[in-house]
Structure 1
Amino acid sequence: MTAPLVTRQDKDGLATLTLNRPDKLNSLTVAMFRELRRHVLDLQSDDTIGCVILRGAGKCFSAGHDLGDIAEGEKVPSPGWHSETLRLMERLPKPVIAAVHGHCYTGALEVALAADFILAAESARFGDTHAKWALTPIWGMSQRLPRRVGVATAKRLMFTADMIRADEAFRIGLVEQIVPDADFEAACEDLARRILANSPFSHAANKRLLEATDARDMDSGLQWEILNCEGVGPDMQDRIAAFTGKSKKAKT
């Protein structure tokens, strides 16, 4: 029986999706994207899951788009299908963490950038090598990378095809945190648990709000926030009651 190319493991509200082609450094194929897309679609309506971690099996997150597939003229279901798949993941109504160790190059970086943020192990290495192979991005690099690091830095990475270490990725704002490899798995779960402790209603509403107002001027953004406010979540009263109940106990 063929092993799945993307696995899913659920644990107490946390779903971990793992790119599972370690013998090929998790290089990305149409078949792998097809499985990733299926998991993303399943997660859209799964209310038992409040946070998602996307990681890679074996030595790295992913070495990028499988060049063999490209050379052979890979067949995609429709134009823009890869980009559409990553957009579906980006718009999940729950936080998505890209947990990156080892290689994260080109197509893999485009996948990681579609997460809400990137947590990096010290071993992580990032780069955009489209120009090295005379390719241009169609999975979102030209849009997400400059939004994350700024236009000039995005140009530098895209034009030079330089590989950068985790500390440089942190300095330019590509990643949110660097963790020693030995502590990486625990740190990823700890971050996810801190997210899960808060309201899933707020997470979903905040993701929609941040996306809708990205790149707007301040006044129109403030107006959008007021006019499109989603109000309070169904768990508000329970959360306040739990907090005030603990406070009362502490005073007695």
Structure 2
Amino acid sequence: MSMRRRPSTCSRRFPCRLRGKSGVPASPASWNPPWPATFWWPPSPWFADAYGTWGLAPVWGMSVRLPERVGRAVAREVSFTSRRVDGHGAAEIGLVDRCVADDRLDGAVAELTAEIAANSAGTNRIYKALYARQSTMDRGEALRFERSLPFGLPEDRTARLNATRR
């Protein structure tokens, strides 16, 4: 995925691979939830919340989305210092899920994609819907909601269960 491409134009929300230099609008922290299942980033790109460097104020949701992704304490440090964070640092603070060597990124994402594709698309759809809906619920409410099967069962459930019994 190109760093210059607006996240709202992505038809699929996972996995995402990030390349090149980042900045405020191109970072995972500025993207709209629900988050993709995983962000993988090579060591070479960097992220910085550079509003303070330029004397700007966040207006695209950085003050909301960055703490959602990395927690309030880390978000404050990143924002107040405008410190650049490379791929390793981004993984360390939770901005991205993994840092993968530049020359292995495409292969690693292809492997992850194959693992995801081998599973039930219906189950993945249900998980994504549950994660999105439960984000505003307390734990007890989220557990009751999940148990109610609000999104039904995957259509391929019977075929997959029968295949494992053979």
The DSSP-based 3-state class of the residue aligned with 1:119 is strand
Structure 2 residues not aligned, in runs of 5+: none
- Kindly provide the CA deviation profile for residues 87-143 of structure 1, in whole angstroms up to 9, marking residues without a partner as x: xxxxxxxx4222123312110012497641310112131211122223233333222
Q: 2:114 aligns with which of 183, 186, 193?
A: 193
Shift of 1:215: 4.5
Percent identity over the alignment is 27
> Under a length normalisation based on structure 2, what TM-score does the superposition of the two structures give?
0.84
RMSD: 2.3
Q: 1:162 aligns with which of 75, 78, 83?
A: 83
1:101 counterpart residue number: 19
1:183 counterpart residue number: 104
Shift of 1:194: 0.9
1:223 and 2:141 matched:
no
CA gap 1:126/1:112 in 2 versus in 1, 3 angstroms: farther
Shift of 1:164: 0.9
For 1:228 and 1:139, how far apart are their aligned partners in 2?
A: 35
Shift of 1:228: 4.9
1:58 counterpart residue number: none
Q: 2:127 aligns with which of 202, 206, 228?
A: 206
1:135 counterpart residue number: 56
| Higher normalized contact order (CA 8 Å, seq sep 6+, divided by chain length) | 2
Shift of 1:230: 2.1
1:237 and 2:158 matched:
yes
- Kindly provide the CA deviation profile for residues 124-166 of structure 1, in whole angstroms up to 9, marking residues without a partner as x: 3121112222323333322221111100111111121110122
CA gap 1:195/1:162 in 2 versus in 1, 3 angstroms: same
Task: Return structure 1 stretches of 4+ with deviation > 4 angstroms.
Answer: 112-115
CA contact (8 A) 1:128 1:161 kept: yes
Q: Answer 1 or 2: which has greater strand percent.
A: 1
For 2:149 and 2:54, how far apart are their aligned partners in 1?
A: 44
For 2:64 and 2:95, how far apart are their aligned partners in 1?
A: 14
- The letter of the residue matching 1:99 is R
Structure 1 residues not aligned, in runs of 5+: 1-17, 20-25, 44-51, 53-94, 246-252
How many residue pairs get aligned? The number is: 163
